């Protein structure tokens, strides 16, 4: 019985979840301007831009102090 329930829950989950496809565009990380990074040289900001651009609809929900303003 549990396998039937598990299959049912799996079916429900798969039918409700929209799979994420990369609908965006490719950005070369090295082509991004150095002004994008914070004065302390936080290179992760470039990674956020590359990720969000590839998704096309990506939410950058970084914590405070991680340079979202520049991104």
What is the structure's pLDDT at 67?
79
Domain assignment present for 39: yes
Contact 32, 3 (CB under 8 A): no
- Distance separating alpha carbons of residues 10 and 51, to the nearest angstrom: 28
Domain assignment present for 16: no
- Distance separating alpha carbons of residues 71 and 55, to the nearest angstrom: 15
- Distance separating alpha carbons of residues 36 and 5, to the nearest angstrom: 50
Regarding pTM above 0.75, the answer is no
Domain assignment present for 5: no
Total domains in the chain come to: 1
pLDDT tens, position by position, 53-71? 998 888 888 888 887 887 7
- Distance separating alpha carbons of residues 71 and 49, to the nearest angstrom: 6
Is the pLDDT confidence value at 13 over 90? no
Domain that holds residue 50: 21-71
Domain assignment present for 32: yes
Domain assignment present for 9: no
Domain assignment present for 41: yes
């Amino acid at each position: 019985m549990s396998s039937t329930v598990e299959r049912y829950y799996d079916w429900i989950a798969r039918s409700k979840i929209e799979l994420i496809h990369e609908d965006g565009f490719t950005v070369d990380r090295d082509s991004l301007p150095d002004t994008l990074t914070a004065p302390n040289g936080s290179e992760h900001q470039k990674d956020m831009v590359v990720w969000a651009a590839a998704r096309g609809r990506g939410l950058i929900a970084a914590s405070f102090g991680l340079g979202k303003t520049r991104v």
